[in-house]
Amino acid sequence: MEAYLDNAATTKVLPEVKEIMMETLEEHYGNPSSMHSKGVEAEKYIKFAKKEIAKSLKVEEKEIIFVSGGTEANNQALICGAMANKRSGNHIITTKIEHASVYNPLVYLESQGFRVTYVDVDGNGKVNQEQLVEAIGEDTILVSVMHVNNEIGAVEDIAEIGEKIKKKKPGILFHVDAIQSYGKFKIFPKRMHIDLLSVSGHKIHGPKGIGFLYVKDKTKVLPLIYGGGQQKGMRSGTENVPGIAGLGKAVQLAYADFDAHIAHMYELKIFFIDLLNKMEDLTVNGIDGIDIENTAPHVVSVTVDGVRSEVLLHALEDKNIYVSAGSACSSNHPALSGTLQAIGLEKKAVESTIRFSFSRFTTKEELVYTVETLEQLVPVLQKYVRR
pLDDT at position 337 is: 86
25, 17, 18: which is closest to 241 by C-alpha?
A: 25
Note whether residue 143 is domain-resident.
yes
pLDDT band at 174 (very low <50, low <70, confident <90, very high): very high
Note whether residue 29 is domain-resident.
yes
Span 223-247, pLDDT tens digits: 999 999 999 999 999 999 999 999 9
β-sheet bridge partners, residue 141: none
Question: Count of domains in the chain?
Answer: 2
Span 307-325, pLDDT tens digits: 999 999 999 999 999 999 8
- Same domain, residue pair 240 and 271: no
- Same domain, residue pair 296 and 323: yes
- Same domain, residue pair 24 and 153: yes
- What is the arithmetic mean of pLDDT over 167-191? 97
- Same domain, residue pair 306 and 197: no
Span 328-350, pLDDT tens digits: 554 444 567 889 999 989 999 99
pLDDT at position 291 is: 93
Give the DSSP per-residue string, 321-373: EE-BSS-GGGTTS----HHHHHTT--HHHHTTEEEEE--TT--HHHHHHHHHH
Task: State which of 256, 281, 310 marks the end of a domain.
Answer: 256
Note whether residue 387 is domain-resident.
no
| CB distance 7 to 357 below 8 Å | yes
Rounded to 5 degrees, φ, ψ at 304 are: -110, 110
329 catalytic, yes or no?
yes
- Same domain, residue pair 287 and 269: yes
Span 252-291, pLDDT tens digits: 999 999 999 999 999 999 999 999 999 999 999 999 989 9
- What is the arithmetic mean of pLDDT over 66-79? 98
Task: State which of 237, 256, 275 marks the end of a domain.
Answer: 256
- Same domain, residue pair 271 and 229: no
Q: What is the pTM of this model?
A: 0.95
Amino acid at 311: V
pLDDT at 108 over 70: yes
pLDDT band at 383 (very low <50, low <70, confident <90, very high): confident
Task: State which of 256, 275, 302 marks the end of a domain.
Answer: 256
- Burial label, 219 (beta-carbon count in 10 A; 0-12, 13-18, 19+): middle
| CB distance 144 to 94 below 8 Å | yes
Q: Which domain holds residue 211?
A: 15-256
Catalytic residue among 329, 349, 368, 381: 329
- What mean pLDDT is reported for the chain? 95
362, 386, 11, 380: which is closest to 179 by C-alpha?
A: 11
